[in-house]
Structure 1
């Protein structure tokens, strides 16, 4: 029992670990999470992301792949429906990531359709996501 409590406590602490300091020679992409949704970093180009909470990339052109989970509200399904959870992948391409710059990737949905937008430090949209497949969860 003590081992279970200790293991649970350690897992809880690692889940609360803070983000590392950004490398000034890289571009940093924050993921904007909203209530009742989940947005996770999956891949940079064809490489699996080492941390699902953010992206850190070399300057230049990259394709980011994210996982976005969200609920489709009953009003978008039918009168007696329950919320329907969707698990989607989106790809965001941007050809001009700059070293030392911070970007923000936000996702949302309109009904069943997910969307993603990449913003620069001035809150200008610099990239849009394209859906890469969804499934019901």
Structure 2
């Protein structure tokens, strides 16, 4: 029976994956991601607020204002975050995710105490995950390790 000869070194090393998109595409994606995510978040908040009732003009206005605020803050987090140290960067994401989740949860009609508790739990998990991610993907100075 034929068998492949053993090799030394394991998997062959290839260079970094090629970037198949143009710089213009990357710029458009950086702008489109917060906008699309904001629209989804605004729709979700408006749907939670109306609780199955018919859509009204005030509900649409609430959804679009929520989407605008969410998109602007997300754009700020994505722009400013990478310039910060990993601890502060993780705290920024923690605050953003915790507040966003708490707001959505409060729109469903739950008490403010329960919304705060759930938001703090989600924020704690977010901090652990984000700090681990930034700690393992950056060196001590804050440069990304590839």
TM class by smaller structure: under 0.3
* Larger-gyration structure (1/2): 2
Q: Which has the higher contact order (CA 8 A, sep 6+)?
A: 1
> Which has the larger helix fraction?
2
**How does the TM-score come out when normalised to structure 2?**
0.26
**How does the TM-score come out when normalised to structure 1?**
0.27
